[in-house]
Structure 1
Amino acid sequence: MTQHDASLDAVLAHIDSNFNASLDRLDALVRFKSISTDPAYKDECQKAADWLAAELNGIGITTQVHPTPGHPMVVGHDSDTSDKPGPHVLFYGHYDVQPVDPLELWSADPFEPAIVERDGVKMMFGRGTSDDKGQLLTFVEACRAYKEVLGALPVALSLLFEGEEESGSPSLLPFLNANKKELSKDLALVCDTTMFNADTPAITTMLRGLVGEEITITAANRDLHSGMYGGPAANPIRILAKILASLHDDEGRVLIPDFYDGVSELTPEVKAQWDALPFDDKAFLADVDLSVPAGESGYSVYEQINARPTCEFNGITGGYTGDGFKTVIASKASVKISCRLVGQQDPDKIRENLRAFVKALVPADCSVEFSEHGASPAHSLSPDFPPLKQGAKALKDEWGKEAIQMGMGGSIPIVGEFKSILDMDSMLIGFALDDDNIHSPNEKYNLTSYHKGIRSWARVLAALAE
């Protein structure tokens, strides 16, 4: 056994023997009612930030609480500044939580954590246990074990915890821009994602980006009586419907010009890994009472939601939509569209080409207006990215299974902001499960996720130092 192996084994043993104390700290953090979107809980957010700073300072990570126009940022740097192998990593998490409504659907007080056993599985219930307090503390507790056993971390480390992730992160971009030099490191680690299932670890290597756009078509200068004007008068609802129908072909491909520029196929290795996953296309759709895949032909449902771009219609308005019936030709009709992006698709180019596509189909005596609703590029890690291989090996050593290189259909804006502002790639490793009820009543975090999550981060930090 090498000295490296012996040191890691000692850290893992310490994690195991002190797990109850780690649970007590999770219990304490969950009790803060750090609901960022509600001004009534501003003091609770401050208390949670102060608690985290005190815990980090207590293990030798010099930490400050930075005020913002909203809720505080917690920034820590390991006080051991000696030269260390591997990258200098920045770990990111958030201490704020979603509102608890509807409260009556909770089985207990959301901020009085309770450990319950169901079907042999122990779990802690409470708002934030999974998203993101439990996830955040898996990393902090791994750092604590290194400090208490070896007196030092294996790699250079900084940490950034924000308190507004659940309310749109309004203070984050200004803070990143104002503190680029301090926060820009070699690699970001993010623990706000899931495993593939309860015993299969995962590294999220692909996140879809997003373009949001609202389109409003105006025809007549007022709503018209459909008996008097029906026929000769342009109907913006009909115009809009025709435009929307022309955005896809019969195979589900998006017809916006150059839409697929920058879209790559999966590598053979990842394709084979995904094809071998126990993911049931039929069961996935049956869960929402559907049966026929409606996405891009030639790709599995799992590929469609994780690795292919989309153009979806999220809401259409126009004319009379109240009770009863009104024979009116609306003067306006609008749609909200979201495009999920993958690979190297350019959000600005997608928006520009979508607008040009729509303008070309609007009649000459009608007008169209566009409103932006955000844009962010996709995120992907190269299969050859060294930390990815190191992280995957560390997770396999802990869980006994190959770590899935997973895609995620949604978007995590912080990952794109780390890249665009701090010029830093991110590796996303999380231990939440799909049934953790995040953002919903009765949120929970399995104790195995918490315990093995701490052990996993200890292994990952050791691997990054090699």
Structure 2
Amino acid sequence: MANPSQYATEHHDQFLQELISFLKIPSVSTQPERKNDVRKAAEWLRERCIQVGMSRVELFETEGHPIVYAEWLGAGADKPTVLVYGHYDVQPAQKDDGWDTDDPFVPEIRDGNIIARGATDDKGQLFLHLKAFEAFMKTTGAFPVNIKILLEGEEEDSSRNLPAFLKQHRELLDADLALISDTAMFNANIPAIPYGLRGLLICELIVEGPKNDLHSGMYGGAVANPIHVLSRILASMHDDYGRVTVEGFYDDVRELSSDERAQLARIPYGEEELRKETGVSASWGDTQYTIVERMGARPTIDMTSFKGGLLGDGIKNIIPQKAWGHLTCRLVPYQNPHKIFELLQKHIERHSPPSVKVTLKKYSADEAVLIDPRVAPMQKAVDAFKAVYREEPLFTLVGGSIPIVKWLVDDFNIPVVLMGFGLPDDNLHGPNEKFSIEQFRLGIQTLIKYYESLAE
């Protein structure tokens, strides 16, 4: 009889076809018109959890989208319990965004990649755990450890209903460690294990001027243009070297130790890699820090959307009634997002003329998180990656945010291991998102090794 690794190899094509069917579901959590599709994705996962042999599978309703929960606790009380987290919702996508495929939700296989929205973030990566579980159950009839799986449908919408669920079901979710696959490696040959994630503050900045749109010929020069004001406010937040100029913004920033800087310096990523990956002509930002440090260990302020005036095609010669957009801050350990919000408010007030009304609204606020890389579950992840990739992974700081990590570390007091298999050029959140088919294969093999090691 085949062992789990052999089973996964023999059923690779079948696993891939199942993933394709999952990716066809447009589970965009932030678009109300996709509500039924998000539920369809949850129901699809529920059926797959049943099929692979989970002993308990439930769909929990929330005020938003449902949460999928599954468990298998047959390993016994002497074995650890692992809580696996993933999210089945995805970012919005349409062909006009720049997709080379006919439809972002009709997966295509090209150049060794599966191209579709959610391929790497996070449908493809969460699916690895179900297939690793299946490989054990089909070959040995049991799993090495106890496992609980929590799959949410609102991660791309700030996980707004997850905190209440975690609090309400604290005993149900009790575990010895949490395992998440929603990050990326440095390249196809060098694995990465994050030991920190940046926090995230999301705001909406609104500038209101006249009571309605005005003719720019009649009122230009006499009435402040909200687009101009919003632009000036945004420009005031950085100096010419990319440093944030909001007073107090850096006060609580955790500085890297010399050992950390040396570790991050080993990461094979610099100017050339950034240019190739993003298509920009040069990097930007505070040159006192390396690109890797800027991307994971330093805080940022970015405007992620900007609206005002005529939003459709054509020309409309007006002074618009308002201009608005979304402002996000990626924060590092020890920065309090609520304090940063107050600092932003004060800065904006100082740079706003009396001729307009400026409002800053806070949508979500999540702190950064640090994980001790020396704990046993992290070191076992190192060994699992080495066994499959034949290369020792590097510990890194990740610029993105996964809200549940902070909650699990602080409230559940358990280590969280981030074992991601995406690649830097997977274009998550962008057009032509992809997941390497080879990474899909190796990811399952690595998780099989990891789960085996946890039982030892």
Q: TM-score, normalised by structure 1?
A: 0.79
State the match for 1:372 in structure 2.
Answer: 362
State the match for 1:3 in structure 2.
Answer: none
State the match for 2:381 in structure 1.
Answer: 391
State the match for 2:451 in structure 1.
Answer: 461
**CA apart distance, 1:352:** 1.9
- Whether contact under 8 Å (2:277, 2:425) holds in the other structure is no
Q: Distance in 1 between matches of 2:296 and 2:126?
A: 24
Q: Secondary structure at the match of 1:312?
A: strand
Percent of aligned pairs with the same residue? 35
- Whether contact under 8 Å (2:158, 2:364) holds in the other structure is no
Q: Distance in 2 between matches of 1:161 and 1:283?
A: 33
**CA apart distance, 1:82:** 1.4
Does structure 1 residue 445 correspond to structure 2 residue 438? no
Q: Distance in 2 between matches of 1:219 and 1:352?
A: 23
State the match for 1:12 in structure 2.
Answer: 5
Deviations 1:29-78 (A, max 9, x none): 34545454556655554444334333333424321122334433211121
State the match for 1:263 in structure 2.
Answer: 253
Q: Distance in 2 between matches of 1:55 and 1:199?
A: 31
- Whether contact under 8 Å (1:207, 1:412) holds in the other structure is yes
* Counterpart residue type for residue 347 of structure 1: P
Q: Distance in 2 between matches of 1:409 and 1:262?
A: 17
State the match for 2:397 in structure 1.
Answer: 407
Q: Distance in 1 between matches of 2:6 and 2:28?
A: 35
Q: Distance in 1 between matches of 2:42 and 2:287?
A: 48
Change (3 A) 1:214 1:165: closer
Q: Secondary structure at the match of 2:171?
A: helix
State the match for 1:26 in structure 2.
Answer: 19
Q: Which runs of 5+ in 1 are unaligned?
A: 1-8
**CA apart distance, 1:234:** 9.1
Change (3 A) 1:94 1:360: closer
- Whether contact under 8 Å (1:62, 1:79) holds in the other structure is no
Q: Distance in 1 between matches of 2:29 and 2:130?
A: 22
**CA apart distance, 1:141:** 1.4
Does structure 1 residue 428 correspond to structure 2 residue 418? yes
State the match for 1:299 in structure 2.
Answer: 289
**CA apart distance, 1:90:** 1.1
**CA apart distance, 1:228:** 10
* Counterpart residue type for residue 56 of structure 2: T
Q: Distance in 2 between matches of 1:125 and 1:413?
A: 26
State the match for 2:57 in structure 1.
Answer: 63
State the match for 2:84 in structure 1.
Answer: 91
Q: Distance in 2 between matches of 1:44 and 1:239?
A: 40
- Whether contact under 8 Å (2:75, 2:145) holds in the other structure is no
Q: After the TM superposition, which of the residue ranges 139-148 and 238-247 deviates more from structure 2? A: 238-247
- Whether contact under 8 Å (1:392, 1:403) holds in the other structure is yes
1:285-364 alignment, distance < 5 Å: 285=275, 290-291=280-281, 293-314=283-304, 337-359=327-349
**CA apart distance, 1:159:** 0.4
* Counterpart residue type for residue 78 of structure 1: W
Deviations 1:157-197 (A, max 9, x none): 11011234345544434333332221243322111222211
Computed over aligned residues only, the root mean square deviation of the Cα atoms, in angstroms, reads 4.1
Q: Distance in 1 between matches of 2:230 and 2:93?
A: 38
Q: TM-score, normalised by structure 2?
A: 0.80
* Counterpart residue type for residue 308 of structure 1: R
Q: Distance in 1 between matches of 2:232 and 2:157?
A: 36
**2:70 alignment partner, one of 76, 91, 116:** 76
Q: Distance in 2 between matches of 1:83 and 1:129?
A: 36
- Whether contact under 8 Å (2:73, 2:146) holds in the other structure is no
- Whether contact under 8 Å (2:88, 2:123) holds in the other structure is yes
Q: Distance in 2 between matches of 1:111 and 1:237?
A: 35
Does structure 1 residue 130 correspond to structure 2 residue 123? no
* Counterpart residue type for residue 339 of structure 2: K
State the match for 1:4 in structure 2.
Answer: none
Q: Distance in 1 between matches of 2:235 and 2:24?
A: 50
Q: Distance in 2 between matches of 1:107 and 1:230?
A: 46
Q: Secondary structure at the match of 1:183?
A: coil
**CA apart distance, 1:349:** 1.4
Q: Distance in 2 between matches of 1:42 and 1:323?
A: 35
The count of corresponding residues between Structure 1 and Structure 2 is 451
Q: Secondary structure at the match of 2:65?
A: coil
- Whether contact under 8 Å (1:212, 1:338) holds in the other structure is yes
Q: Distance in 2 between matches of 1:217 and 1:144?
A: 54
Deviations 1:195-234 (A, max 9, x none): 2112221223222212234455789999999999979x99
Does structure 1 residue 50 correspond to structure 2 residue 40? no
**1:174 alignment partner, one of 164, 174, 178:** 164
- Whether contact under 8 Å (1:84, 1:156) holds in the other structure is no
- Whether contact under 8 Å (1:207, 1:410) holds in the other structure is yes
Deviations 1:6-51 (A, max 9, x none): xxx9432333334344334334434545454556655554444334
Q: Distance in 1 between matches of 2:26 and 2:246?
A: 45
**CA apart distance, 1:108:** 5.8
* Counterpart residue type for residue 72 of structure 1: P
* Counterpart residue type for residue 4 of structure 2: V
Q: Distance in 2 between matches of 1:27 and 1:150?
A: 27
* Counterpart residue type for residue 449 of structure 2: R
Change (3 A) 1:25 1:341: same
Q: Distance in 2 between matches of 1:94 and 1:394?
A: 23
* Counterpart residue type for residue 124 of structure 2: G
Q: After the TM superposition, which of the residue ranges 201-210 and 418-427 deviates more from structure 2? A: 418-427
Deviations 1:138-160 (A, max 9, x none): 11111222233333323221101
State the match for 1:272 in structure 2.
Answer: 262
